[in-house]
Structure 1
């Protein structure tokens, strides 16, 4: 009986020892797994934090490209070459030169003028290059870079029209302009009834066929249209004394501080080395990049 009891106690002790060893091994494995899981979680958190702290310029450089909104229908700023259908123009070349300075590829997206501005605000596009002039109203929504070109707004009418010789004479008249453009706003400001169209050519056609009394546009674009078409049926009836400054609009906020600084530096370098002037003369026959 004592022998059986002794053997039973020995079996219980051995079993307890095995269980204890097994439990200790499991605890060790769990202990090893915990730091690994914690490390993975920490790495993921660090990656999220790093991504969150990257600003717009860093994201553009990481992508290797910058998306640029432009109309593609406003000669000579942004349009398609009639022979090759290639997207060309003053703004197209300036934007491409800026992208090169940033060390990324330009990716142009052709949209309506107001759609381009909206896309910059929502982050659909990184920037816009389309002869966007700086105004107090726009400056409330966008952070503008330094200007890269200067111009004047003009009123274009039929050469035979003697009723309009100033912006004030637009009161009660009809004009045609791109939706969301400064020129549309100017027409409304001076009391005109404004029709919205998509292209510069359409605005001129509506004036030529008498559908509207006038169009407000950039002097550079008007002169280019006159020279390209050879028309003598249109004239510049009035010139705005205020200088129009063309700049790059960016979404407001500190996320774009370094991008705006980088673009400003690019513009300064392109002006200093004569690139801006060269592009301007190519498309306008004159340098509009110096105030």
Structure 2
């Protein structure tokens, strides 16, 4: 099992101005069901409900900004938003984790026994979503040089089911939900091989840390009063906001 890492994979926050700003800007890709997605021109999902609940606790408004996942990179430094990977932990101020998940290999149904762990990915073509952290996770594996990693903007599940790639990797929760709801012949292969913790990153300055502390206090309240678990169960049918 790989060493657990802390990342903010989906929602990223900054202020419009001072530490006491009344609007929290939240950057999202808008295309990662059920974490965040657009339906009938409305942004929905776990992260949307989560950030609305946080803003209700802090007394702030929330402003969602959607763009491509790769377009999020660099925005937090410029005072807007950014996406954070594990090698940037020292650069930003993070909230406490609010999602505990794991990287999961998915294969065409019937091929589950061919991949029981990361070592079995050698010699395989493995797809990941463009801009996701899973490409980084695969590249950190000892056998990374033997894995043909392919990035996809779409059709990642379809191409796996059709045998165009041997497997794809995404988070365990979304993988299980995709398999349950999709007619495609897909199956989980082995257990999650890396813990993933979602946390919100903020600029590592006084204003950013002050907002981080306010949001962190709100997250603690939402955990303690059961709101966070309710939001999780609404979208996932289980509580992914606590470590197993």
**Does residue 168 in structure 1 map to residue 119 in structure 2?**
yes
Spell out the pairing of 1:1-291 with structure 2 (5 A cutoff): 59=18, 61-62=20-21, 64-81=22-39, 84-125=40-81, 135=86, 137-161=87-111, 162-190=113-141, 191=144, 192-199=147-154, 202-231=155-184, 233-291=185-243
Cα deviation code 1:143-191 (max 9, x no counterpart): 2110112112110111132432211111232222233422111222332
SS of equivalent residue, structure 2 residue 242: coil
Which blocks of at least 5 consecutive residues in structure 2 are unaligned?
Answer: 1-13
Contact 2:125/2:166 (<8 A) preserved: yes
Could you tell me how far apart the structure 2 residues matched to 1:239 and 1:186 are? 15
- Cα displacement (A) at 1:97: 1.3
CA spacing shift, 1:235–1:75, aligned 2, 3 Å: same
The CA deviation at 1:111 is 1.8
Q: TM-score, normalised by structure 1?
A: 0.70
Q: Which has the larger share of strand?
A: 2
SS at match of 1:176: strand
Q: Is the 8 A contact 2:20 2:211 kept in 1?
A: no
Query: 2:98 touches 2:219 (CA, 8 Å); kept in 1?
Result: yes
Which protein, 1 or 2, shows the higher relative CO under an 8 Å CA cutoff with sep ≥ 6?
2
- Write the distance in 1 (CA, Å) between the matches of 2:188 and 2:169: 10
- Deviation readout 1:118-146 (Å, 9 max, x if unpaired): 22233223x77xxx7x73x1313332110
Aligned residue for 1:42?
none
- Considering fraction of residues, name the structure with more helix: 1
Secondary structure in structure 1 of the residue aligned to 2:210:
helix
- The Cα of 1:205 is off from its aligned counterpart by 1.8
- TM norm structure 2: 0.82
* Local SS of the residue matching 1:146: coil
Going from structure 1 to structure 2, the CA distance change for 1:203 and 1:110 (only over 3 Å counts) comes to same
Deviation at 1:226, TM superposition (A): 1.4
Q: How many residues align?
A: 225
Query: Could you give the per-residue CA deviations for residues 262-285 of structure 1, whole angstroms, max 9, x where no partner exists?
Result: 111010011111110000000000
1:94-122 C-alpha deviation (Å, 9 max, x unpaired): 01111222222211111222322422233
Contact 2:161–2:186 under 8 Å retained in 1: yes
Instruction: Give 5+ residue unaligned stretches, structure 1.
Output: 1-54
- Deviating above 4 A after TM superposition, structure 1's stretches of 4 or more consecutive aligned residues are 55-58
Q: In structure 2, the residue corresponding to 1:250 is in which secondary structure? A: strand
For residues 17 and 158 of structure 2, what CA distance do their matches in structure 1 show? 45
3-state SS in 2 of match to 1:226 = helix
Over residues 180-238 of structure 1, what are the superposed CA-to-partner deviations in whole Å (9 max), with x where a residue is unaligned?
A: 42211122233222222235xx221221222221111111101111122244x111112
